[in-house]
């Protein structure tokens, strides 16, 4: 590594460690705070929430080749973005193998979420849609919601925290309007393709590679990287056909043992493309027994906004939106999920 990248690996590791220590301070904090931005400043995460991963690494003299060849493939593999679009905090998390929470295989993800909710003492309302808000005379808010049957209910709250992207809420707000209109945030678009097959990946589509690995990460070519690093979706893909491809696990279908593969890409993966990945030729019979495709649009929820600098907002008195702290909160959430998946 030293021969190819000099001090860059060490400098990148210092940034990852600094971000991890700041996160640990955030976990350990028990103080009541009014501003999420203030606590971000107090734990030392300002720098990581204001820049892209690329700009942060450049400012700390991390070599561009190291960024493209080592750092960027993991960003693409975990968040379907490049260093030029993802926040510095998201980039450091993608490269950090530590996990903060653990959960047993027996408990599963459902058990993890149950414990997290129980620790807050809050109530969970499933199959419930928030219709709107009305400013109360006492300074708080009345929240209007409807359940799966269409039955509406109204409940008063001292304060409201909007923990979802503003553009997806379509909330009707009565009484005083919001003081500041929230910034519209662009989210990463991607296509997810799952398929099962008895075949291994073919090396024909990978320069004749022998013995294909179970995880294939991609990054743009050196001559195109600077131009597309700041692009999202297909504008950020480059010549690679997908963000990443992985063999998820072995499954049994119809009494036959098969491999389950997952592809995350910027455009839909066709049957012919899957056929080529498995060593088949155009027009041949399918080499898979099952395929499922899912499109995540730019208006859907994504772990990290494409915009690196999301401003904070106090929408109104006692009506808060995390703003740039959304990245921090997502980081804590995804770290918890990663801890569950690693155990």
The pLDDT value given to residue 105: 46
Query: Rounded to whole angstroms, how far apart are CA atoms 275 and 248?
Result: 18
Is the separation of the CB atoms in 89 and 48 below 8 Å? yes
Q: Where are the alpha helices (DSSP H) in the chain?
A: 2-5, 8-28, 36-43, 46-50, 53-59, 64-66, 72-79, 88-94, 108-120, 222-228, 271-277, 325-342
Question: Would you call 244 helix, strand, or coil by DSSP?
Answer: strand
The pLDDT value given to residue 224: 94
Question: Would you call 238 helix, strand, or coil by DSSP?
Answer: coil
Question: Would you call 257 helix, strand, or coil by DSSP?
Answer: strand
The pLDDT value given to residue 11: 94
pLDDT in tens, 14-41: 999 998 888 777 767 665 555 666 777 7
Contacts of 237 (CB under 8 A, 6+ apart): 220, 228, 243, 265, 266, 267
pLDDT in tens, 208-226: 888 889 899 999 999 999 9
Strand 172-174 and strand 129-135: the pairing is: parallel
The pLDDT value given to residue 165: 67
Is the separation of the CB atoms in 153 and 284 below 8 Å? no
Boundaries of every domain in the chain: 190-296
The pLDDT value given to residue 102: 47
The pLDDT value given to residue 338: 39
**Which ranges of the chain have pLDDT less than 70?**
27, 29-37, 97-112, 165-168, 176-188, 298-315, 322-343
Name the pTM for this structure.
0.72
The pLDDT value given to residue 336: 43
Is the separation of the CB atoms in 301 and 164 below 8 Å? yes
Query: In Å, how far from its chain's centre is CA 255?
Result: 35
pLDDT in tens, 140-150: 899 999 988 88
The pLDDT value given to residue 101: 43
What is the DSSP-derived secondary structure letter of residue 166?
G
The pLDDT value given to residue 36: 60
Is the separation of the CB atoms in 274 and 292 below 8 Å? no
């Amino acid at each position: 590594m030293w021969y190819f990248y000099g001090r860059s690996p060490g400098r990148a590791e210092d940034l990852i460690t600094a971000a991890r220590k700041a996160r640990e301070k955030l976990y350990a904090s028990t103080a009541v705070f009014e501003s999420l931005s203030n606590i971000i400043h107090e734990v030392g995460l300002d720098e990581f929430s204001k820049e892209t991963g690329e700009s942060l690494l450049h400012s700390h003299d991390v070599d561009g080749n190291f960024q493209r060849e080592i750092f960027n493939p993991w960003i693409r593999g975990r968040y379907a973005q490049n260093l030029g679009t993802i926040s510095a905090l998201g980039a450091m998390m993608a490269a950090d193998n530590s996990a903060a929470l653990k959960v047993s295989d027996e408990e599963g993800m459902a058990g993890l979420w149950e414990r997290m909710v129980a620790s807050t003492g809050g109530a969970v309302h499933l199959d419930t849609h928030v219709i709107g808000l009305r400013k109360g005379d006492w300074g708080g808010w009345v929240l209007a919601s409807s359940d799966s049957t269409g039955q509406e209910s109204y409940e008063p709250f001292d304060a409201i925290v909007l923990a979802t992207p503003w553009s997806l809420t379509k909330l009707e707000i009565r009484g005083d309007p919001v003081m500041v209109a929230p910034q519209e945030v662009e989210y990463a678009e991607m296509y997810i393709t799952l398929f099962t097959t008895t075949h291994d990946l073919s090396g024909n589509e990978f320069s004749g590679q022998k013995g294909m690995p179970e995880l294939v990460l991609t990054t743009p070519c050196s001559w195109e990287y600077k131009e597309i690093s700041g692009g999202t979706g297909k504008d950020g893909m480059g010549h690679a056909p997908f963000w990443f491809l992985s063999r998820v696990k072995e499954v049994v279908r119809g009494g036959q043992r098969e491999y389950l593969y997952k592809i995350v890409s910027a455009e839909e993966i066709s049957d012919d493309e899957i056929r080529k990945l498995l060593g088949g030729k155009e027009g041949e019979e399918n080499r898979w027994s099952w395929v499922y495709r899912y499109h995540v649009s730019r208006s859907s929820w994504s772990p990290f906004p494409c915009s690196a600098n999301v401003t904070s907002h106090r929408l109104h008195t006692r009506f808060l939106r995390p703003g740039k702290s959304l990245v921090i909160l997502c980081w804590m959430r995804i770290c918890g999920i990663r801890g569950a998946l690693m155990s």
